[in-house]
Structure 1
């Protein structure tokens, strides 16, 4: 069931940006900028405890959690137009690959990498 708007039509959902907990904001901003080309477009706090990064249509929020412990779950999915090229680039950058590049039976060429805090990002390209 979809939530109705004031007009009675279903509410249209807009963009949704994942928020990743990180133990070191500066290190994480550097990682996402150097490995994926993200740019910082917003920061909040003194010291900084929250950052918004953007690259193309992707947006990522980072929130400071000095006691952050990674889980075994993927925290975000990043859809791209060339998974193989990104996979090879991340390997050259020595980013930890959690699951190798593969063509999955659910219609995606995909892989999983981890950021410096162990946050797992699932990358996919429609086949």
Structure 2
């Protein structure tokens, strides 16, 4: 397989509200809009995409309609602290406050209107123990 694009699709009962959440708070704009599906693209990077799908739509196999699996979306940003301040001030539900992790991340986690977890991350230098687990070319910080 040679993928030409990869993006997550969030199943939800409220396509419009979910799309607006990502447009308002994360800088996405719609590139396709229907009543059951909205395809969003980052305003700053056209390679970053997210789709919102009505969870009861007939394109979803019957046994999976309306179901939600646990999902975590990672947004890597230049300054997680600044995003934490901005998104917290907007009243978004933060479920893990901003912190530095020994494995090489400064991050926080919040929830979207569907309960999907959103991890906002800035890579930082890991502790020596975790640094030893990275390939040299992938070592952050």
Range into which the TM-score falls when normalised by the shorter chain: 0.7 to 0.9
Determine whether 1:59 maps to 2:46.
no
User: Per-residue displacement from partner, 1:23-69 (whole Å, max 9, x unpaired)?
Assistant: 2111112111111221111124xxx2111111123211111126856
Report the 3-state secondary structure (helix = DSSP H, G, I; strand = E; otherwise coil) of the residue aligned with 1:112: strand
Q: Where in structure 1 are there 5+ consecutive unaligned residues? A: 4-10
More strand by share: 1
Aligned length, in residue pairs: 113
Paired with 1:99 and 1:80, the residues of 2 have a C-alpha distance of 17
Query: Structure 2-normalised TM-score?
Result: 0.70
Query: Structure 1-normalised TM-score?
Result: 0.77
4+ residue segments displaced more than 3 Å: 66-71
Q: Where in structure 2 are there 5+ consecutive unaligned residues? A: 57-64, 125-141
Task: Classify 1:101/1:64 alpha carbon distance in 2 versus 1 (closer, same or farther; 3 Å).
Answer: same
Q: How big is the alpha-carbon RMSD for the aligned residues of Structure 1 and Structure 2?
A: 2.1
